[in-house]
Amino acid sequence: MFASLGIDLPTGILLCLALLLALSFEFVNGFHDTANAVATVIYTNSLKPTQAVVWSGLWNLIGVLTSSGAVAFGIVALLPVELVINVGSGAGFAMVFSLLLSAIIWNLGTWYLGLPASSSHTLIGSIVGVGLMNSLLSPDSAFGDGVNWAKVGDTVKALFFSPIIGFVAAGALLLLAKSLLRNPALFKAPEGKAPPPGWIRALLVFTCTGVSFAHGSNDGQKGMGLVVLILVGIVPAGFALNLQTSADTLAKIRTSGAAFEQSLQKSGMNASLQDDIDANKTLTTYLRKGAIAPETMPALEAVNRRVMAGLADINDLAVVPGAQRRILRLNIYLVSETLAKMIKAKKLPATLDADALSAYQKNLKGVTSFIPIWVKVAIALALGLGTMVGWQRIVVTVGEKIGKAHLTYGQGAAAEIVTFGTIEAADMLGLPVSTTHILSSGIAGAMVANGSGIQGPTVRNILLAWVLTLPVCVILGAALFGAGLLVVFRVLGVH
């Protein structure tokens, strides 16, 4: 079976284990995070627990299937560039295993304690840990090189501000609803096991649906990005390039690439033989450190020339021999990511057309940044099934232990509306945010706005879990990556 994929038995076993870990992460993510979405409908008696988790699981699945992929590749952008480029190497295997294992370990630990911690924080902390250990073990790197600090900073800001937005916005929305909606039924707590009036029940089911869909569309992408990375590294013949790229797009790439090459040569930035030999290393160093050196532009010209040679007279990427697809992907990736970084930092030479290069970069990115439909389906099923299992611990915390009074219909609706809106905004920006943080803080904000009060010990424990998640996962990711390198190099003999 593995021979048909062009890989040997040990590599095939590692492939299966890596895919199993990625799906396990999403399964745990399902019952760890999505429990937040069903807490309100369960504690307001709008849906029975079984109905709620099945309904939420279905909409998580739909959210994954309709997602754009922006968050998926945002997560991949956090990884050390040299490990992304060489993900099929022993170090690449160690990276994938260590970051997934550390994320699963912390998620299971906080779930067991009933603490709604963030799967996003968990994964990002693990990625930073891998990057730090990788830089520590690389003789030609300073400590911290290879970690995409700018992208980490953007992501951490989103994760930091989203719960503040959840707390303030949910409280404000509840107060606004009280001033505009005079029906007191919306602001009462459930009486016994009786369901709420029909219109309130419809509202709460709708908000649960929205949060479940948004969770799938955002959190589900994290696993998709990692699965694609695994497939590209281990089975490049099938997944290194987007074989669905149209002939028209390939023609546009050739035209834009040729114009780019001519512009570089006219500006005197064409590569010498020595530049061509060291081009990959030069661009990798630029992507890792972000500093343009005199040899950066000649190296970019050299790699772009290789892209043009690899795509010459190609109208269907399926005709590119399997053995050449990894090399072509590497060249396209280096040009695309280098241009993207220069454009964002506004570091392009004045002689170049920024708008034309932006269009060129987007077309190039589409050749390497894609998600096969079966990957979406697999992640969707893992996340959806996870939603239906093990949800009780987090639901009890969110529904009973944050506020001092029972959750009212209005409080639950306010928290979920804000959560849905915040996650959808993050999706459009390609930022991973925490459903857990937003919804938990939204319920706390609604409790405070209502004068219900919050339970200090529970909130303190939740905040402690939030504060500890990043540093603990950084340490876990770094330690497991170091140990993983030892295993793949010395024990399994994978290089």
pLDDT at 345: 85
SS (H, E, C) 272-318: CHHHHHHHHHHHHHHHHHCCCCCCHHHHHHHHHHHHHHHHCCCCCHH
pLDDT at site 77: 75
Residue 65 CA from chain centroid, whole number? 15
pLDDT at 238: 81
Residue-level pLDDT at 490: 54
The two most distant CA atoms of the chain are separated, in Å, by: 79
Residue 56 contacts residue 212 (beta carbons within 8 Å):
yes
Instruction: Find out whether 393 and 179 touch, Cβ atoms under 8 Å.
Output: no
- pLDDT value of position 165: 87
Task: Name residue 403's beta-bridge partners.
Answer: 454
Residue where the block lists tokens 């951490």: 156
Q: How far is CA 267 from CA 113, 305, 342, in A?
A: 62, 16, 17
Query: What pLDDT shows up at residue 146?
Result: 65
pLDDT at residue number 366: 92
pTM of the model: 0.78
Give Cβ neighbours of residue 134 (< 8 Å, ≥ 6 apart): 80, 82, 83, 91, 95, 141, 146, 481
Residue recorded with tokens 């699965």: 227
Domain boundaries, the chain: 3-237+372-491, 243-368
- Residue 275 to residues 14, 146, 214, 299, 332: CA-CA distances in angstroms? 36, 22, 47, 6, 18
> How far is it, in rounded angstroms, from Cα 137 to Cα 334?
23
Cα 229 to Cα 50: distance, rounded to the nearest angstrom:
35
Give me the residue label for tokens 């937003």: 438
pLDDT of residue 212: 86
Element (H, E) at 70: helix 70-76
Closest CA to 36 of 193, 202, 215: 215
Kindly list the distances between the CA atom of residue 164 and the CA atoms of 431, 459, 488, in Å, as whole numbers in the listed order: 16, 14, 42
Looking up tokens 């035209």, which residue turns up? 255
The pLDDT of residue 224 is 86
Between 149-180 and 435-450, two packed helices, what is the crossing angle to 10 degrees? Answer: 30
pLDDT at 331: 93
- Residues 223 and 25: beta-carbon distance below 8 Å: yes
Q: What is the mean pLDDT of each run of 10 residues along the chain (495 residues)?
A: 64 82 86 72 84 85 82 76 70 81 87 74 85 80 71 73 86 89 80 83 89 82 83 81 93 94 80 69 84 87 92 92 88 93 88 91 92 88 78 67 78 87 79 75 86 78 77 89 71 51
